[in-house]
Chain A
Amino acid sequence: EPEVTQTPSHQVTQMGQEVILRCVPISNHLYFYWYRQILGQKVEFLVSFYNNEISEKSEIFDDQFSVERPDGSNFTLKIRSTKLEDSAMYFCASSELSQGGGSGYTFGSGTRLTVV
């Protein structure tokens, strides 16, 4: 069964450093998302991406965050200057259609980001 692949599985970084979280969505999917989950809390929407541009972003997704699809396969989330409160599990997801088509999301296994 096709999978969404995320790397690395765990990233430890110093406060103020930049991190890039990487995702390889399912190959025929067109819609891409980043969500985050602070330990023990709900899964929160960060950003959606379609047709090489951001289609929606949440209040969490401020100027320190950016997303990119640098080639035909990778989808990255960059955090420019990490803060302690950025420590969370970050999930990438992709879907073949928008929710208008109702295909549901496929999530990756996540990257656990720890900011020290």
Chain B
Amino acid sequence: GENVEQHPSTLSVQEGDSAVIKCTYSDSASNYFPWYKQELGKGPQLIIDIRSNVGEKKDQRIAVTLNKTAKHFSLHITETQPEDSAVYFCAASTTDGDDKIIFGKGTRLHILP
């Protein structure tokens, strides 16, 4: 089955700097890659996703890149703000009827003042 690895487990960046979180996946059939943000005491919230027919997607300060050959995908947050502090999860899924998504272990992002 699919296995998603995520690095780093913890990341601290100065406010205003960029943060990058990287993930790899094992199943070459995976073609949907969502990213979730989890704030304390809340459920994961979808922030951006990318499909395998696209190499990059951007939404304001957040961008995701996908390298299908290398089975890598990354989340980039620019101009970080205090409200970006949270746990971020990458995930992978196939679209062949198996509709579960498999999560990485998460990255705790701290934005330093």
Chain A residues with a Cβ under 8 A of chain B: 4, 6, 31, 33, 35, 41-45, 48, 50, 55-56, 58, 91, 93, 95, 98-100, 102, 104-110
Contacts and interface: CB of A to CB of B under 8 A. Distances in A.
Contacts of B41: 109
B42 A100 contact: no
A44 B106 CA distance: 12
Q: Is the interface of B mostly helix, strand, loop or mixed?
A: loop
B43 interface: yes
B11 interface: no
A42 B89 CA distance: 8
Those 7 A-B pairs whose CB atoms lie nearest each other, nearest first: A107-B43, A98-B99, A100-B95, A43-B103, A104-B46, A42-B105, A99-B93
B99 A91 contact: no
A78 to B, nearest CB: 20
Nearest to B2: A45
B103 A33 contact: no
Contact of A48 (B46, B100, B102, B105): B100
Nearest to B89: A43
Interface residues of B, number: 26
Given A42-B106, A43-B89, A91-B44, A105 B101 contact: yes
Interface in B40-72: 41-46, 49, 51
A109 B43 contact: yes
A102 B103 CA distance: 16
Contacts of B51: 102
18 contacts: A6-B43, A33-B100, A43-B36, A43-B106, A44-B103, A45-B102, A58-B100, A98-B99, A99-B32, A99-B94, A99-B95, A100-B96, A100-B97, A105-B34, A105-B46, A107-B45, A109-B42, A109-B43
B83 interface: no
